[in-house]
Amino acid sequence: MKKIKTLLGISSAVAALIMAGCSGGYNGQLVGEMSRPRWNPVTPYGMVYIPTGVLHIGPSDQDVNNAQVARARQVSIVGFYMDDTEITNNEYRQFVNWVRDSVAHMALEHTKEDANSGKTQIDYKQKLDWKKTEGNEQMEGLFVPAEKRYWGAKELDVSKLWYTYQWIDFKAAALSSNRGADRSEFIKTEATHIYPDTLVWVRDFTYSYNEPMTRNYFHHPAYDDYPVVGVTFPQAQAFNFWRTRLWMDYKAVRGEQMGDIFRLPTEHEWEYAARGGKKLAPYPWGGPYVRNSKGCVLANFKPGRGNYPEDGGFYTVRADAYWPNDYGLYNMAGNAAEWTSTAYYEGGYSFIHDLNPDIRYDSKQDEAETLKRKVVRGGSWKDIAYYIENGSRHWEYADSAKSYVGFRCVTTFLGRDIADANGRR
């Protein structure tokens, strides 16, 4: 009898649920949509959490000239994750090899339809076994022609490595007067050559012998954990879109919710992270000096007058060299200067918003050179101490590649799921 009552009770409960579902109601109560995915984010590998806070921007010391382009202000920065080191050669090589394999797959599966559509890459599900492609005629076009080979070596033609990605111009959409506009108007497609410019080591310095770095820096395993350089602003952008897609695909397979995209930091996010919680300190470790009490140099820059090796590195050093700042970030001063997403304007600090300040401008090829300037931060291995200060601003043209400029990525912190053990919020 007891079992029969139990079964009747279960049947009644099931019937009630069915009725509730049919009526569209959850017993007629406003409880929100119950089928929403859980949100339990993990810190992306190699990143650290930078908490929300306030940043006092501007010169860290009395500097009359710099005060004209970096006036003192207070701004608020929302929390984010940031790479604890600059993107290394080996990390960037993962991107290069993904594009290489994608282009190779396209060559193997090339059809007339693909040729007509202008499609240059596909999303492959496994790495290509290059040994099995030996002698394949469709693959020959990816290599340097025989008459252009050095010592007869069969090398990949890196000029074929282009990455195509899409992004949404939210600012243009927000400013559009046509609220019923076709959303495709704001979806932009970009194609970028992604191989680093290895000739920067020779091009950047006159009457200076740096050819060994051109031959080896991006190729030799000795430099795998050194910061990638010779990348332009568009290449750094492309890397972030590829990294976002890589993470998104992984999350989709596992049925998990994706966080925000990977991107370059704004210059104020970068400065906020570099300070490591030390609001007015001139350097990531505090200051006011670039040496510790034992006289050891605390970053990779140009100490003194041309004494490059005094800090332990002649050119760049490992991306995790020296002590990190209080947020756990390495080499926020020196080693490789870093791209930010911010467009450079001398008077930009006069009109930026105090809530997550951001100045972006995507210049066209035929526009004035001054509109193509992007802020770089942190100074580099070739710079004097002034340029590695937290508050120092500098710029490079977006389409230029340098032997002293790299980058690191960030992604905005979206909060955490606060559900209790029973699933209640």
Q: How many CA atoms lie within 13 A of 83 on its CB side?
A: 22
Angle at 60 between CA 55 and CA 63, to 5 degrees: 135
Task: Check residues 181 and 347 and name the one with the higher pLDDT.
Answer: 347
Task: Check residues 283 and 114 and name the one with the higher pLDDT.
Answer: 283
Lowest-pLDDT choice from 13-17, 20-24, 94-98, 302-306 = 13-17
Res 298: pLDDT: 93
Span 29-33, mean pLDDT? 87
Res 116: pLDDT: 46
Confidence of residue 97 (pLDDT cuts 50, 70, 90): very high
Angle between helix axes 89-108 and 233-253 (nearest 10 degrees) is 70
What class is the 47-88+194-412 domain? alpha beta
Confidence of residue 22 (pLDDT cuts 50, 70, 90): low
Give the predicted TM-score (pTM) of the model.
Answer: 0.87
Q: Is the separation of the CB atoms in 378 and 334 below 8 Å?
A: yes
Question: What span, in angstroms and rounded, lies between the C-alpha atoms of 181 and 91?
Answer: 40
Question: What residues form DSSP beta bridges with 54?
Answer: 76
The chain-wide mean pLDDT, for the chain, equals 85
Confidence of residue 4 (pLDDT cuts 50, 70, 90): very low
Integer distance in angstroms from the first to the last C-alpha of the chain?
39
Is the omega angle on the peptide bond into residue 44 within 30 degrees of 0, that is, cis?
A: no
- Eight-state DSSP code of residue 336: S
Confidence of residue 417 (pLDDT cuts 50, 70, 90): low
pLDDT, tens digit, for every residue of 102-136? 888 877 776 444 444 545 555 565 667 666 666 66
Provide the phi-psi class of 119: left if phi over 0, else alpha when psi is between -120 and 50, else beta.
beta
Question: What span, in angstroms and rounded, lies between the C-alpha atoms of 149 and 157?
Answer: 10
Q: CB-based contacts of 391: which residues, under 8 Å, 6+ apart?
A: 57, 58, 59, 60, 66, 70, 271, 282
* pLDDT at residue 154 is higher than 90: no
pLDDT, tens digit, for every residue of 167-209? 898 888 888 877 777 888 889 999 999 999 999 999 999 999 9
Lowest-pLDDT choice from 128-142, 204-218, 385-399 = 128-142
* pLDDT at residue 54 is higher than 90: yes
Tokens at residue 201, please?
């080591």
Span 305-311, mean pLDDT? 87
